[in-house]
Structure 1
Amino acid sequence: MSRAEAAEKLIAKLQSKIAEQQRKVREARAQTKLADNITAEMSELKAEVTDLKDEARELTRANREHVTRNETLQAEG
């Protein structure tokens, strides 16, 4: 094998390695983007859960007041 052929073979091998590394980088970036999106969605869902818990507490409090009023009215009536 001539030096030129050996050089061409080496160049082809290195180009193949570069292409593989570029593919891995693209894949890593896609995974990072997905992880970032999941993290953002998780944060939004946590806030929504907190809001729903607050709403449930408020509804429970209002329901207790309503029950107390109804019991008072029934006792009077």
Structure 2
Amino acid sequence: MVEFSSGVRGMALNLETDNVGIVVLGNDREIQEGDIVKRTGAIVDVPIGMEMLGRVFDALGNPIDGHGPVKTNTSKKS
């Protein structure tokens, strides 16, 4: 996982000698050429379990359906 100076997160997809491909997991309009990008030291980690059924989440596993946080202690790392 990486984080842009705007706070938008992304996932490094390909690492090459002179560039890095990143999947943006947020509003790409907040990212501009020349922005600083730092690694977070974390990998993709989303909650899993029965508490997830019927809920709506963004790409990072954050609930976006207005029903509050998910109460689960189980997660899956990818």
- If the TM-score is normalised by the length of the shorter chain, which range does it land in? under 0.3
Determine which structure has more spread, i.e. the larger CA radius of gyration. Answer: 1
- The structure in which a higher percent of residues are helix is 1
User: RCO greater where, 1 or 2, for CA within 8 Å and sep 6 or more?
Assistant: 2
- The structure in which a higher percent of residues are strand is 2
